[in-house]
Structure 1
Amino acid sequence: MMDPAIDALTENGQPEIDSSRRTARCHEAAKTVVVTRGYARLYRWRWAAALLVVAMCGVVGWQSRGLTMDPSSHSFFEQSSESYAAYRAFIKQFGSDETIVVGVRMAGGLTPELGHWLRDVTKALRVLPHVEEVRSLATVTRLQRTWFGRLVERPLLPDSKNGAWTRRVLPRDPSPEEPLLLSGWRTTAIVLRVAQDLPDLDAQRALIAGVRRALALHQRSDVTYLVTGTVVEQDTLLGRMSQDRQRFIPLTVGVVILLLLLFHAKWLSVLYALAVMGGSLAVTQGVMAWRHVPLNVVTGLLAPIVLIIAVSLTVQISASFLHVPKDASNGARLATVYRTMFMPCLLASVTTLVAFLALLVSPVPAVREFGVFGALGAMSAWALAMAWIPVCLGLAGDLPSRVVPVFQAIGRVLADRTVRHRWLVVAAAIALMITGMVWARSVHPSTNLIQIFRPTDPFRVETEALQQDLEIVYPLELSITVPPETSMTSPQTWQFIERFQSAAAQLPIVARSFSLSDVLRYTEHVAKINRSQRRLTQILAQLPKRLGPTWSQLASPDAHHLRLTLYLRRWDSAEVVATIHQLRTIASTALSPGWRMEPTGHIGLLSQMSQRLVDDQVASVALAFGIILGLMWLAMRSLTYALIGIVPNLLPILWLFGLMA
């Protein structure tokens, strides 16, 4: 039998190369030819390429002038979700939940003069554009039973400026609205219900300015104002976003310039980096403006991320060029650089692209936009770095450059110590990963938009102060649907509602509650009547006329759709979501079969979306990790090297979550 080794010999007696090695060499040769030829042509036409890059970035960047900002929370809502559909149905049924809340602190307590002043302020605020309703102590009434048994409705604040009325001469029984608007007779609230969808940001700012102007015209030395609410929150957030962008982008650029000068001591490297940074940011924001995608709380973070990605690519390519021997021309040196750096930079950019696109698993529009345009920024930075740096180096040539000696010495020491104690470094990395994983398990995912602002921010200070006094800043809305066949004049029907409201009001996070049931109990208490079907029929027939527009905010015309508002002690999305689960459990036992209870409103919907976002992040990270590991395995052709390369990416993530916990 012939020796198998002889079959493995070629005609010249040399052994054949293994097929996998042959494929790898062919792939490397093809890559070298493509990259070398491509950049040889780019270097040859460097003037035309420079003009083309500048023109393209200029045209796309010009579009960014139309980039707008969206401070509202609607970009966090999943448009196709059931919870958002319930929210839109709630708005359609009961009206807008957008508010401006004016807290009024009275140094000497409520007096007849201040009561008259409060009437004037309420009238001035009511005539402002886009204001649908104003509720204050000046609009609250109390029922009073006359000697003949009739119920008379009287205003809470007598229309007297210099009278000697005191709390004793007011009707005795407080209405259900008073605890929501008055605390200790020293703090009261004026609540403006604003149209749900204002025309634009200018209308929003004009409305807030009108409120502040009306308050300034009625300013008193013994009165302090606290202005908050969802509309003010959105406007304040927009202002802070604009300020942060104006400060953070120059700060990022300044730090990058300083570090480049320290490490490279060469202004040309700084200019190259600034060109790539500016171009990639212009492309990202220009496309956003072209697609009419506004900046929000999430996408507003794209600018510094894109800048850092751009400068990292620039530094890698420029540093590689400086380390190529200078005995060849710039064109030959560039060919050497890009033959060795093209694939590593491409792999780094593609993995960044995958990480951004993995965010598409989230249904939250703001997160999806962040992923799409973050991927666009990463790839535009790579394309500009690959095209712009050789053009710059080819045009400017090579000037003497050196690394600052102290950093060069530090780098040599770190490299030497790392190689010498490599097993100790590996053990420390593993220990840090395990510690981060253990700590990360105790991370408390929560969202509170108020905490986005600094503790000393005037808006946060005023909001927390008013919440401490009245506890009406964080309303959780509940929509209760009663089946059409259920009679609303039956006492048993209202027993179900009162039982559910009583159980909901006892939850730890709930400070107080308010619904049409409170108005019914108040009317029955003042009239001193027992609940019966005949009495309920009479009361429900009179209430729409007596309450006026307030009725439409509490119930539908037939009272089969009811609104129950729970005022929360604090806004913590994790606690709110847990409370929503508890409310569903209570509803399943307290309400009659066939009834439906749906938590909704601004805070309820945003809290549910925030918790959904946390859950989606786990899925997106797992997806990105799997795809990136596969790409590194394919590029390195070794699972071991791919796993080793993925560790430096996992370590900062786990350690960061550990520090957060």
Structure 2
Amino acid sequence: MARRLLNLALNHRKAVFWGLGLLTLAFSALLPLIQIDTDPENMLPADNPARVFHNEVKERFDMHDTIVVGVVNEQSVYNPQTLANLHSLSEFAEGLDGVIAPDLMSLSNVDNITQEGAGTLRFEWMMREPPDTQAQARTIRENVEDLPLLFNTLVSEDGKAAAIYVPIEDKNQSYAIGRELQSHIDGFEAGDDWHITGLPIAEDRFGYEMFVQMGISAPLAGLVIFILLWVFFRNIPFIVAPMIVSVSTVLITMGALIGAGFTVHIMSSMIAIFLMPIAVVDSVHIMSEFADRYRKGSSVRQVVTEVMGHLFTPMLFTSVTSSIGFLSLMLTPIPPVQIFGFFVGLGIMLAFLSTIIFIPAYLVSLNPATLDRMVDKLPAEDRSLVARVLPPLGKLARSHAKLWTVGFVALFAVSVWGITQIQINDNPVRWFKSDHELRIADRVLNDHFAGTYDAFMVLQSSSDAVDKAQSALTDASTNESLSEATRTWLKDQTLDSPESLSDLILALDDRLFEVGGEDADALEALMNQLEQLDSQSQAFLQPENLEYIQQLEQHLASTGLVGKSNSLADVVKTVNRELRSGEAEDYRLPDSADAVAQTLLQYQSSHRPQDLWHFVTPDYRESLVWLQLTSGDNQDMTAVVESVDQYLQDNPLPEGLNLEWAGKSYLNVVWQAEMVEGMVGSLISAFVIVLIIMMLLFRSVAFGIVAMLPLTLTITGIYGLIGWVGKDYDMPIAVLSALTLGLSIDFAIHFVERTRAYFRETGDWSKTMQLMFLEPGRAITRNAIVIAVGFTPLLVAPLVPYITVGFFLATIMALSALVTLILLPTVMTLLQRWLFRAS
């Protein structure tokens, strides 16, 4: 196969050039169809149970993604000017397209609940018009502090911050709506600090900046690689070839992804910057060895043939193993990670094919004078920095083999300990740098308020009322004392849901007007029985269930993990207080279901009756507890869930109730857990596959294991470093395992393959090692430098995931090359008689 591909490249050069050019243009034409997606919810499959339940909860309780706007005044927000601005912004927000105006929450459109008389309530707007005097502002403060539902939610406990909660129809509109809000804020007089935050706007803002970053990082990486290649080879026509391969690989791969209908997520946005350096790996090997072998007057075709004869097999296997490293990500249950892994793996194999066909064709097409000028400009082999450093390094590795081995074993042990210290955590707001306006807003508002991050506890009734009602209906329909018409009518009734039970009660009430005598008595008795069952199934009218919710809220408040919680119990207690005395001693739950129902009926007379259905469903069989958290970190959300689980274990739920979780903060925990488990599985699977490939490549179990040593030490070293420095294990860090697996083995394959070839030629171990730290060593070092430096443009990115990837990938490349050039000579020196006994 190698000979056929080389003949194609050398004998049909124009076809090769035109073919690559047209293919690149065709896929590049698909790039304008790009669609950006930064919603972490899409890290889970659409049919994931947690995601399905989350969306069902949002629909049932009419919950929406929300932008949080906060104003801070270090003296007090309760002053006429600040409250006037708050009122102005609230009215402006209500008129914006994409904003759900009835559910917007601010001081200007919520109710103040007071007692108008014995047993009656008065609902009036908290701040229908902004106050004209400081005295009026103080009155607003007194009213807010008297309403637990609003206090520390709309106005901070210290009185220095106020918030507007802006619900939106589509989270993809959040960045645009946020800019319109900011434009209105910019028109206010100075004196207050305004901030805009919330997970939806953070995610949408990241999408905008990610799109910009894609257009900067990949070209910048290409420029850096171009400069490095010029430093190595000092000839622009010569180094154009790998750049063509790199750029065409990126364009074709991204075009294929977009053309296939996939959205560009945070993961797939990194494909270009990943492929740009990786795509030149094989090219650098070819061009490095070509530059070392070519002399004036040499036959370019002959030199290219020799170089390709040496490098084709190791390049094939390095490309296959690199591709497997990324394709293993398809074993994870995270769709964006699967897409990322597939297309990077595809891009690597595309780069390999392009390299082995295009590079030989390009080199043979170059004017010999151009190659001669390159030879003149290149420093002598023994005068270059790389050439001066490598031989002493090889000698050092061989002469202190046992000492190096002890050092590597110690490093491995310490790395394993570091891995045990890794903390799994992520937070979309932390994808921005600490000085970003969103991070500042997040810190400021969460310092003042109970929290801008949401989580929902959903309690559901699993009452068997429907089954009992069906049994009662069946018994009645078979009662021989009833008329045939009544029994037939009863048999025609259906009971398959709690809603159908309420419908049947209404139908029985209507039927009573049509029958008499014994039929009427039986139907009335049945209706009373069903009403009792229906009342019992309305779990969240029962005081004991609301009392349990109240105790659970008190427990969460005592842990310090939750800033505040709001529930149906809080609504009922507030209304009950005003219905009775208006005093603190009546801020409690009523004693009966009827009394609870009366408070909720009264609440529905407010200006915002729909707010009730955010906490309970109209059939009172499901209830939602809204938790406000000051942190969006997965660790903190996990701690809340664990605290609730422990509470439920010590204090079981009332019979017939169960508890589930929903909310963005909880979904982040779910996909992080699945990602970690999936990454571990994919890494182990890929490791085993690569080990088998190494054994097949070298036709030796021993050499296969030896080739895996640098990879093993690099993976443990990098993840040990993450544990040592306390870097959270997040989405970008998780993907590094694939890159480490895919690229760390490349250097080992070239080193082992060339070592075996040289030993077969020389039969002398010392001579073999000397040769290895000449041409092969220079090629490995140049490749490591190109790839490592190629990722450094990410270090100046404004987005933390890109910085993380840039730093760790550069470190991975440097470490894996260094480990290969020291560990392999060390191990092979100690085991040379066993490894090379056949020779």
TM-score between both structures, scaled by the size of structure 2:
0.71
Match of 2:162 in 1: 188
Q: Output one character per residue of 1:106-159: Cα deviation in whole Å (capped at 9) or x when no partner.
A: 354212454344333212211111111310111232322235453212333364
2:123 aligned with 1:62: no
Structure 2: distance between partners of 1:82 and 1:120:
42
2:417 aligned with 1:476: no
Change (3 A) 1:120 1:507: same
Q: CA deviation at 1:635?
A: 0.8
Match of 1:3 in 2: none
Match of 1:12 in 2: none
Point out the structure with the larger helix share. 2
Give 2:60's aligned amino acid.
Q
Q: CA deviation at 1:168?
A: 5.1
Match of 1:466 in 2: 445
| Aligned residue among 534, 550, 563 for 2:611 | 550
2:627 aligned with 1:566: yes
Match of 1:209 in 2: 179
| Aligned residue among 562, 587, 604 for 1:510 | 562
Give 1:212's aligned amino acid.
Q
Detail structure 1 runs of 4+ shifted over 6 Å in the superposition. Answer: none
Change (3 A) 1:541 1:590: farther
Unpaired runs of 5+ in structure 2?
466-536, 581-585, 724-839
Change (3 A) 1:65 1:93: same
| Aligned residue among 616, 634, 639 for 2:696 | 634
338-347 vs 574-583, greater mean Cα deviation: 574-583
Q: CA deviation at 1:598?
A: 1.1
| Aligned residue among 384, 399, 406 for 1:427 | 406
Give 2:455's aligned amino acid.
L
CA contact (8 A) 1:102 1:226 kept: yes
| Number of aligned residue pairs | 623
Match of 2:531 in 1: none
Give 2:251's aligned amino acid.
A
Q: CA deviation at 1:594?
A: 2.8
Change (3 A) 1:505 1:407: same
Match of 1:248 in 2: 217
Match of 2:826 in 1: none
2:162 aligned with 1:167: no
628-637 vs 294-303, greater mean Cα deviation: 294-303
| 1:456 partner SS | coil
CA contact (8 A) 2:152 2:450 kept: no
| 1:297 partner SS | coil
2:145 aligned with 1:176: no
563-572 vs 122-131, greater mean Cα deviation: 563-572
Q: Output one character per residue of 1:545-585: Cα deviation in whole Å (capped at 9) or x when no partner.
A: 42422122222112222111111232221332243233234
Match of 1:520 in 2: 572
After TM superposition, the structure 1 = structure 2 runs for residues 106-121 of structure 1, keeping only pairs within 5 Å, are 106-109=73-76, 110-121=78-89
2:644 aligned with 1:583: yes
Change (3 A) 1:161 1:544: closer
| 1:135 partner SS | coil
Structure 1: distance between partners of 2:359 and 2:132:
79
| 1:426 partner SS | helix
Structure 1: distance between partners of 2:294 and 2:74:
79
Structure 2: distance between partners of 1:368 and 1:140:
46
2:291 aligned with 1:322: yes
2:42 aligned with 1:75: yes
564-573 vs 625-634, greater mean Cα deviation: 564-573
After TM superposition, the structure 1 = structure 2 runs for residues 366-405 of structure 1, keeping only pairs within 5 Å, are 366-398=336-368, 399-400=371-372, 401=375, 402-403=378-379, 405=384
Match of 1:534 in 2: 594
Q: Output one character per residue of 1:444-503: Cα deviation in whole Å (capped at 9) or x when no partner.
A: 111122222111111111111111111321111122112354333322222222223322
Give 1:542's aligned amino acid.
Q
Match of 1:645 in 2: 707
2:9 aligned with 1:42: yes
Structure 2: distance between partners of 1:420 and 1:510:
60
Give 1:190's aligned amino acid.
I
Q: CA deviation at 1:247?
A: 3.2
Q: Output one character per residue of 1:153-206: Cα deviation in whole Å (capped at 9) or x when no partner.
A: 2333364642432535844732422221111222100010111x36xx5x5444
Structure 1: distance between partners of 2:36 and 2:51:
22
Unpaired runs of 5+ in structure 1?
1-33
2:99 aligned with 1:131: yes
Q: CA deviation at 1:234?
A: 2.1
Q: Output one character per residue of 1:603-648: Cα deviation in whole Å (capped at 9) or x when no partner.
A: 1101221122122211111111100000001111111111111111
| 2:611 partner SS | helix
Change (3 A) 1:613 1:190: same
Q: CA RMSD in A?
A: 2.3
396-405 vs 519-528, greater mean Cα deviation: 396-405
Q: CA deviation at 1:328?
A: 5.6
CA contact (8 A) 2:131 2:137 kept: no
106-115 vs 177-186, greater mean Cα deviation: 106-115
Structure 2: distance between partners of 1:458 and 1:166:
30
Structure 2: distance between partners of 1:393 and 1:543:
82
CA contact (8 A) 1:75 1:365 kept: yes
| Aligned residue among 71, 82, 94 for 2:61 | 94
| 1:558 partner SS | coil
Q: Output one character per residue of 1:209-255: Cα deviation in whole Å (capped at 9) or x when no partner.
A: 322233334x1322221011223212321233134323322332232
Change (3 A) 1:295 1:233: same
TM-score between both structures, scaled by the size of structure 1:
0.89
Match of 2:807 in 1: none
Give 2:138's aligned amino acid.
R
Match of 1:6 in 2: none
Match of 1:29 in 2: none
CA contact (8 A) 1:584 1:597 kept: no
CA contact (8 A) 1:480 1:563 kept: yes
Q: CA deviation at 1:443?
A: 1.0
CA contact (8 A) 2:43 2:334 kept: yes
CA contact (8 A) 1:555 1:563 kept: yes
Seq. identity, % = 20
| Aligned residue among 300, 320, 326 for 1:350 | 320
Match of 1:340 in 2: 310
Structure 1: distance between partners of 2:10 and 2:208:
46
Q: Output one character per residue of 1:241-282: Cα deviation in whole Å (capped at 9) or x when no partner.
A: 134323322332232223222333332342112111101101
Q: CA deviation at 1:325?
A: 5.9
CA contact (8 A) 1:269 1:315 kept: no
| Aligned residue among 123, 129, 143 for 2:113 | 143
Change (3 A) 1:480 1:644: same
